[in-house]
């Protein structure tokens, strides 16, 4: 009952720094607790069902991963609404999620989310799939009909996992057997994966990894302060997932449980943004994958918090200057909230970051198409959740606030997709999938 209450009221508790710290500490200490109030999921609407709009409820990915991780391959009872979305090269909108039995499925829309196909179940050979909060299945499209789906498979020990993937060479009509992406096979943390193809057709997989933390603690006789946080690792596949290069460490001392944002660089490579630990402050780091440099500090909130807030950033290219638009959650000068800011081409902050025009905003995402920029988030007013968007026509110089939907029912974080001049927000609720056109 406590977990359900905290999920429902977590956005309001973010109103003060002291309560934020208390909530974060509670999240860590209660991560293994069993909830007596699972979030039910109504099966997604059948084909050609008009998209609806509603939702509510928060999930704790750390706790959910703990519960799934101790089941040694058994499917957990707790349902989830977590999805990811992307436009395919042919312009169709795809969504990946899991059903109540934790089976992986795909749904497609030929009209930007007004109607959806029936779910296509993808065989994962019985994998348990992490699909809560910032940990959820991923989807990416490559050249020549390549499609990859990736997920974290929890292992037997709490907070451990491995990154799994299936590959299609026929545009998603069929998928091969699942495989583990990384070379390291220790029963440790490999979690919170993000995947993406660059302009050269190289597939990049990025994840949070604790091999260095485990090694440091073993060398120190088990001291938990021997290594701060986790690390960011990645690898590359130049044949669409048939084979992978070595595991490459991007950076030491990342936060442990926040999603990693990916965005294309102006010259066709990929860049990442993640929550990082800078001398005890959990701000954000930026790194391009085609360079070997120290991560750049991309936010300057100076947030001193010794736990992970389970609240990752968003990143998308800017139309001018070769830089980026970014959104993130943090606390600055005693003011917690979601902020929007500009980064230059190297990932350095430019100008003054702005809080979103909603004090209760959470789990924001950002996407762009040329000078058009869309930021979406949800917020809780004590009775229901609101889905809101902040839209710009001038590359972020000015924004217009738009209310998209609201509901008292359980829902997922909103996710964004963009291609061919279109920007769409996808929201999965107990009523099914909803999509919202975000043309400014």
Domains of the chain: 2-313 (2.120.10)
Question: What is the reported pLDDT for 79?
Answer: 60
- Name the token pair of 147: 């499609």
Dihedral sign (CA 264, 270, 274, 277): negative
Q: Which residue has the tokens 């460490």?
A: 249
- Name the token pair of 316: 């998308």
C-alpha angle 28-82-74 in degrees, rounded to nearest 5? 70
Determine the distance from the C-alpha atom of residue 224 to the mean position of all C-alpha atoms in its chain, rounded to a whole number: 27
The rounded distance, in Å, linking the Cα atoms of 179 and 163 is 8
C-alpha angle 279-283-286 in degrees, rounded to nearest 5? 105
Closest CA to 142 of 205, 73, 99, 190: 205
The rounded distance, in Å, linking the Cα atoms of 147 and 390 is 31
Beta bridge pairs of residue 246: none
Q: Are 359 and 15 in contact (CB under 8 A)?
A: yes
> Using one digit for the tens of pLDDT, what is the confidence trace for 79-88?
689 999 999 9
C-alpha angle 191-195-201 in degrees, rounded to nearest 5? 150
The rounded distance, in Å, linking the Cα atoms of 270 and 281 is 26
Which residues does 65 contact at the CB level (< 8 Å), separation at least 6? 130, 132, 135, 152, 154, 158, 159, 161, 191
Find the largest Cα–Cα distance for the chain.
59
- What is the phi-psi region of residue 25: left when phi exceeds 0, alpha when psi lies from -120 to 50, beta otherwise? alpha
The rounded distance, in Å, linking the Cα atoms of 340 and 364 is 9
Q: Are 349 and 343 in contact (CB under 8 A)?
A: yes
The rounded distance, in Å, linking the Cα atoms of 61 and 192 is 10
Beta bridge pairs of residue 195: 205
Question: What is the reported pLDDT for 224?
Answer: 86
Q: Are 284 and 311 in contact (CB under 8 A)?
A: no
What is the enclosing helix (H) or strand (E) of 280? none
Question: What is the reported pLDDT for 74?
Answer: 41
Question: What is the reported pLDDT for 346?
Answer: 96
- Name the token pair of 65: 């991963």
Q: Are 327 and 338 in contact (CB under 8 A)?
A: yes
**DSSP structure class, residue 119:** P
Q: Which residue has the tokens 């690898």?
A: 235
> Using one digit for the tens of pLDDT, what is the confidence trace for 212-241?
999 999 999 999 889 999 999 999 999 989
Range 114-121 contact pairs with CB under 8 angstroms and sequence separation of 24 or more: 114/50, 114/51, 114/435, 115/47, 115/48, 115/49, 115/50, 115/51, 116/44, 116/45, 116/47, 116/48, 116/49, 116/51, 116/432, 116/433, 117/47, 118/46, 118/47, 119/44, 120/172
The rounded distance, in Å, linking the Cα atoms of 43 and 55 is 14
Q: Are 332 and 282 in contact (CB under 8 A)?
A: no
CA atoms within 13 A of residue 255's CA, in its CB half-sphere: 30
The one-digit pLDDT tens for each residue of the chain (440 residues) are 333 333 333 433 333 333 344 334 333 333 332 222 222 222 333 333 333 332 222 233 333 333 333 333 344 444 689 999 999 999 999 999 998 878 999 999 999 999 999 999 999 999 999 999 999 999 999 999 999 999 999 999 999 999 999 999 999 999 999 999 999 999 999 999 999 999 999 999 999 999 999 999 999 999 988 999 999 999 999 998 999 999 999 999 999 999 999 999 999 999 999 999 999 999 999 999 998 889 999 999 999 888 888 999 999 999 998 999 999 999 998 899 999 999 999 999 999 999 999 999 999 999 999 999 999 999 999 999 999 999 999 999 999 999 999 989 999 999 999 999 999 999 999 988 999 999 87
Closest CA to 251 of 211, 287, 213, 197: 287
């Amino acid at each position: 009952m406590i977990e359900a209450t905290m999920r429902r009221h977590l956005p309001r508790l973010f109103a003060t720094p002291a309560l934020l710290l208390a909530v974060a500490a509670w999240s860590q200490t209660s991560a293994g607790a069993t909830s007596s109030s699972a979030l039910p999921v109504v099966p997604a609407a059948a084909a050609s069902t008009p998209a609806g709009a509603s939702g509510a409820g928060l999930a704790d990915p750390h706790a959910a991963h703990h519960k799934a991780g101790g089941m040694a391959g058994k499917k957990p009872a707790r349902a989830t609404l977590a999805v990811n979305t992307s436009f395919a090269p042919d312009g169709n909108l795809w969504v990946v999620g899991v059903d109540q039995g934790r089976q992986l499925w795909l749904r497609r829309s030929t009209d930007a989310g007004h109607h959806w196909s029936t779910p296509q179940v993808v065989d994962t050979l019985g994998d348990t799939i992490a699909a809560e909060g910032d940990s959820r299945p991923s989807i990416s499209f490559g050249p020549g009909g390549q499609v990859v789906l990736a997920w974290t498979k929890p292992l037997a020990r709490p907070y451990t996992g491995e990154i799994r993937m299936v590959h299609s060479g026929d545009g998603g009509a069929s998928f091969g057997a699942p495989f583990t992406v990384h070379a390291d096979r220790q029963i440790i943390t490999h979690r919170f994966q993000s995947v993406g193809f660059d302009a050269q057709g190289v597939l990049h997989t990025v994840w949070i990894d604790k091999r260095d933390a485990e090694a440091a603690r073993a060398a120190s006789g088990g001291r938990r302060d021997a290594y701060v946080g986790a690390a960011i690792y990645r690898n590359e596949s130049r044949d669409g997932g048939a084979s992978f290069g070595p595991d490459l460490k991007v950076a030491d001392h990342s936060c442990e449980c926040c999603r990693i944002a990916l965005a294309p660089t102006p010259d066709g490579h990929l860049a990442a943004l993640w929550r990082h630990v800078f001398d005890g402050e959990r701000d954000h780091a930026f790194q391009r994958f085609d360079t070997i440099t120290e991560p750049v500090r991309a936010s300057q909130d100076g947030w001193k918090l010794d736990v992970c807030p389970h609240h990752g950033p968003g990143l998308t290219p800017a139309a001018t200057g070769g830089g980026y638009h970014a959104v993130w959650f943090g606390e600055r000068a005693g003011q917690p909230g979601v902020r929007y800011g500009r980064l230059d081409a190297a990932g350095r902050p430019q100008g003054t970051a702005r809080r979103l025009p909603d004090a209760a905003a959470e789990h924001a995402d950002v996407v762009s198409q040329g000078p058009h920029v869309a930021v979406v988030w949800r917020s809780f007013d004590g009775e229901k959740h609101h889905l809101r968007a902040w839209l710009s026509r001038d590359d972020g110089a000015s924004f217009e606030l738009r209310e998209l939907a609201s509901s008292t029912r359980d829902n997922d974080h909103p996710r964004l997709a963009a291609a061919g001049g279109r920007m769409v927000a996808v929201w999965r609720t107990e009523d099914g999938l909803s999509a919202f056109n975000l043309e400014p």
